Amino acid sequence: MVNLLFRSFLVLALLFALLFGVGMAVLTFFEAPAWIAVVFALGVVLLQYLLGPWILQLVFKIEWRDIESVDPELAAFLQRVCAEKNIPRPRFGLVHDGNPNAFTFGHYPGDARLIITTGLLERLDQAERQAVVAHELGHIAHWDFVVMTVAATVPLLLYLLYRITLSSGRGSRRGGNSGYAAIVGLVAFVVYLISNYIALLLSRVREYYADQFSGEVTGNPEALSTALVKVAYGLAAAPKDKQEKPKDDTRMVAARPFGIFDPKAAQGLALASAATGAVSAESMESAMKWDLWNPWALFFELNSSHPLPAKRIRALERQSEAQGQPTRFSFRAEQPESYWDEFLVDLIVNYLPQLGLVLGLALGAVAFFSFEMPFAAAGLVLLLLAGGAWLKRQFSYRHQFEQPRTVRSLIEEVKVSAVRAIPCTIEGEVIGRGIPGLFYSEDLVLQDEGGFIVLDYRQPLRIFEFLFGWIKAEKLIGQRGKAMGWYRRSPNPYLEMRHLELDNGEKATSYNYPVAQFFVYAGMVLGALLIVVQFVV
């Protein structure tokens, strides 16, 4: 899953990024003029905009339905909002999926598609359904599809400017303009990096506006607040009559370019209700503590296209107050301590391999240039790099899996991050995929009595993850069992799976940990041997 640093781009972004990368390599090889590179880049953006919705419809298994036949009350609400706000009524689709979700995509408002899942219909009450659908209508009303497409062109063009000046600087060294070109290129690259963060900021702002739109048209911002709590923190349980329903089909995927929920929050946007069907102030406070107190939350939000759920809930609370409505909830818990010390420790531990590499290169340079000891130099680099990785893994991979935990109890933990994990075992039912609908998504979703969590399935080679997702993952859905692994947040909660044992005898094991450990130990041993060989020789 949060290998979600892959998931952050998902299918469409990856495809068009590959197209752009290969195209730029070809243009660079043939030394094409700058204007051709610009036209090519704009062409890629246009192609993504034109073909994106069509590709998404191929990826999703969408059943196009008349919304009146699915939920007459929701249909009446949709019709009213579209009429009042002069929004073209979107085409409606239904996806049979145990991870409730809702999203929109299209070229422009008149071409929009609004998709909801059976999980949303089963697990949200009518007010929450309407609030979520209104949020999606907000994206349509605000032309988000076009806005984000245009915003994406700015970093792309800045990157092109950087590449063009880099190339021209190399070609103009004899003319004395290389220094000027280098400065322009450096500025373009820095601004390119900044523009990426500005584009992410714009994406987060549009989410706030869609939330505000929902609160206005429903007259009930709190309905979206409770839905977000159920959604963002995985505090969900199966509906009481779930055993009477057929096994869900998971055919959903999130893609950033078209206003669909951020893949980094794919789990967080699987709308589902709490065990009692309602959200209490206590459960809301417990769920929001990590977002509001852990310094890692700020770091992750800067790199996310969606705001932290706790901040969205606070904004909706202020909207309720502005509309003269009493707020049932306000985060009142006092922060018991500072968490910056844990954050700094995590930060240092996270970069121990890099620190070891830098130290190894420094000592290796001394050994090589001052003492002419090449084997010792290589050994020092390898030993210190592997040693740093070993220290990081000792901190991040503890093996007390015998401790049973529930999703709700894990969500309450504040001292947890992608580096600082909690080893544990969770029992429950596999209800879907970690990235719902992606047919080769290897990650699974496990649900216990009070919530659900993504099981991050990792293997040393991605081909094995692909094969597991394509061939085996679907067979595990609907089965009960227990998962052992490391609970982490970054910022969404997930369990990095080590073993999955189901009641029907099926098993799944991640070999990423032992294989990585082998290479770490091998690196340390080889580094030490090189140093010894140097002195022996």
Active site residues: 136
In the DSSP assignment, the letter for residue 506 is: -
Question: What is the C-alpha to C-alpha distance for residues 82 and 87, in angstroms, rounded to an integer?
Answer: 5
β-partners of residue 523 are none
β-partners of residue 453 are 446
Question: What is the C-alpha to C-alpha distance for residues 80 and 144, in angstroms, rounded to an integer?
Answer: 21
Contact 93/101 with Cβ under 8 angstroms? no
Ramachandran class of 250: left when φ > 0, alpha when ψ lies in -120 to 50, beta otherwise: beta
Q: What is the DSSP string of 172-217?
A: TTTTT-HHHHHHHHHHHHHHHHHHHHHHHHHHHHHHHHHHHHHHHH
A 10 A CB-CB count for 439 gives 15
A 10 A CB-CB count for 291 gives 26
β-partners of residue 509 are 499
Contacts of 321 (CB under 8 A, 6+ apart): 327
Of the candidates 268, 421, 303, the one whose C-alpha atom is nearest the C-alpha of residue 5 is 303
Contact 414/68 with Cβ under 8 angstroms? no
A 10 A CB-CB count for 521 gives 13
The number of residues in the chain equals 537
Question: What is the C-alpha to C-alpha distance for residues 206 and 269, in angstroms, rounded to an integer?
Answer: 16
Amino acid of residue 173: R
β-partners of residue 484 are 425, 499
Containing 377, the helix (H) or strand (E) segment is helix 374-396
Exposed e or buried b for every residue in 467-493, given b needs 16+ CB within 10 A?
ebbeeebbebbbbebbbbbbbbbbbbb
Contact 345/396 with Cβ under 8 angstroms? no
Q: What is the DSSP string of 379-443?
A: HHHHHHHHHHHHHHHHHH----TT-B--HHHHHT--S--SSS-EEEEEEEEEEEESSTT-TT---
Contact 329/317 with Cβ under 8 angstroms? yes
Of the candidates 307, 302, 311, 356, the one whose C-alpha atom is nearest the C-alpha of residue 331 is 311
Maximum distance among all Cα pairs of the chain, rounded to whole angstroms: 85
Contact 133/101 with Cβ under 8 angstroms? no
Question: What is the C-alpha to C-alpha distance for residues 229 and 536, in angstroms, rounded to an integer?
Answer: 64
The terminus-to-terminus CA distance of the chain in angstroms comes to 48
